[in-house]
Amino acid sequence: MKVTLRELTKEFPSRNKKSKEKVVAVNNFTFEIPDGKLVGLLGPSGCGKSTTLNLISGLEKPTRGRVFFGEEDVTDLPPEVRGVGLVFQNYALYPHMTVLQNILFPLQNLKGDKKLTKEQMLQKANEAAKLVQIGELLERRPSELSGGQQQRVAIARALVKMPRILLLDEPLSNLDARLRLQTREELRRIQRETGITTVFVTHDQEEAMSISDMIVVMRSGVLEQLGLPQDVYDDPENLFVAKFLGTPPINVFAGEVKNGGLYIGKQRVLSVRGAGDGSVTVGIRPEGFIPREGGALTCGLTAVEVMGRDTSVVCTHPNSLNSGIRAIISSESRHGVGGDTVSFDLKPSKVHLFGVVNENRIRAELTPPESEAGA
């Protein structure tokens, strides 16, 4: 089932009674979630992710705009009849029911021709339990389960009635790092097996990048960019998206375009075609640095950290706009690195230019600087 949001807006009355200003939690959202895909809804805390999810589930009514499931306009339908499965951030398992009773609960609600016999319900509940691998926990109460097990029960409860859409609100945030890694793979598997269109909220970009078919980046209620995770990462539309995606984060410098070249400080680091002269903000991905003696960009060396396969070089530059520059290089190329300074060549595809004021991407053709190219 494809989901379409059209000019969706949700305003909350301000909690400060004196100011009439409203909180715009979701601002004029328009996008389409393709059928059967896993979509990661991504953004910093308070940007309106949960509100968007609640608008899709029907727990909140939009101030303006429409929600469609397939071709059906569900904007005015209450949550009871929308047929969505929702996994809450804190799971919201009913504490007085066993795992089995929790999973059976949505089935017992079915009415009319959808009504099931006891045996059918049990069979479905067992199937759902098997899917999330909690078959042996059915008689326990939620308080007797670990966080990861509770999460699976919550997913089973959301899946058992075969919802048209599955919504997950930060389902992994209560788990420890290792369990989170494991469970997110599981989520991916379950979504693939069932083929249910799934929206998955997180503020962890790595989580979203790793399992989503498509990611949607939002900031203070506004949709910033959407697309395939790799596309959004490689081709950010503005500085916010560029900064938000990627660990370690993108390195930002104050730079300048003049004479057909990109300058950081006094050094001409790349050739530029198709951008007007003037100051720019330069974003360089950590993996965009290639250490080379006499390279285009010279930085002060702070530390070299070896982390297994990769080596991370921490350095400084007067034009850097974040507290430290972090470059990820392969372990073989680290041998030349030492002393007080280090020089890098830059991979043009890993360098992005942004406007200084509006922070929007300046699309220009970047190539290695001519003077070096021949050498």
Ligand X SMILES: Nc1ncnc2c1ncn2[C@@H]1O[C@H](COP(=O)(O)OP(=O)(O)OP(=O)(O)O)[C@@H](O)[C@H]1O
Nearer Cβ to Mg ion (50/197): 50
Shortest gap between Cβ of 258 and other proteins (angstroms)? 57
Nearer Cβ to other proteins (106/283): 106
Reference 210, options 236, 175, 182, 169; nearest CA is 182
Distance CA 253, CA 348 (A): 15
Shortest gap between Cβ of 26 and ligand X (angstroms)? 7
In terms of Cβ atoms closer than 10 Å to its own Cβ (0-12, 13-18, 19+), residue 45 is: exposed
Shortest gap between Cβ of 50 and Mg ion (angstroms)? 3
Look at residue 58 and give the partner it binds from ligand X, Mg ion, other proteins, none, a contact being a CB closer than 5 to 8 Å depending on partner kind. Answer: other proteins
Nearer Cβ to ligand X (16/323): 16
Contact flag: residue 9 with ligand X (CB under 6 A): no
Nearer Cβ to ligand X (13/34): 13
Contact flag: residue 50 with Mg ion (CB under 5 A): yes
Shortest gap between Cβ of 104 and other proteins (angstroms)? 11
Nearer Cβ to ligand X (25/223): 25
Contact flag: residue 236 with ligand X (CB under 6 A): no
Shortest gap between Cβ of 282 and ligand X (angstroms)? 30
Strand order in 64-69's β-sheet? Answer: 23-33, 3-12, 64-69, 72-73
Distance CA 152, CA 150 (A): 5
Strand order in 214-219's β-sheet? Answer: 84-87, 165-169, 197-202, 38-42, 214-219, 222-227
CA distance from start to end of the chain: 56
Shortest gap between Cβ of 261 and other proteins (angstroms)? 57
From the list 49-57, 130-138, 190-198, 225-233, the region that binds Mg ion by CB under 5 A is 49-57
- The contact pattern for ligand X, residues 176-205, with x = CB under 6 A and - = no contact, is ---------------------------x--
- Using CB under 5 A as the binding criterion, the count of chain residues that bind Mg ion stands at 1
Contact flag: residue 271 with Mg ion (CB under 5 A): no
Distance CA 207, CA 304 (A): 27
Q: Which amino acid is at 15?
A: R
Distance CA 365, CA 348 (A): 9
Report helix, strand and coil shares of the chain as percent, to nearest 5.
30, 35, 35
Apex CA 130: angle with CA 145 and CA 147, to 5°? 20
Chain contacts with other proteins (rule: CB under 8 A): 57-59, 78-86, 88, 90, 92, 94-96, 105-106, 108-110, 139-141, 143-144, 157, 161
Output the six-digit token pair for 248. 């370690």
**Residues 49-78 close enough to bind ligand X by CB under 6 A:** 49-51
Nearer Cβ to other proteins (83/265): 83
**Residues 13-52 close enough to bind ligand X by CB under 6 A:** 15, 23, 25, 43, 45-51
Which residue reads 């078959």 in tokens?
135
Output the six-digit token pair for 97. 């029911």
* Binding interface with ligand X (CB under 6 A): 12, 15, 23, 25, 43, 45-51, 203
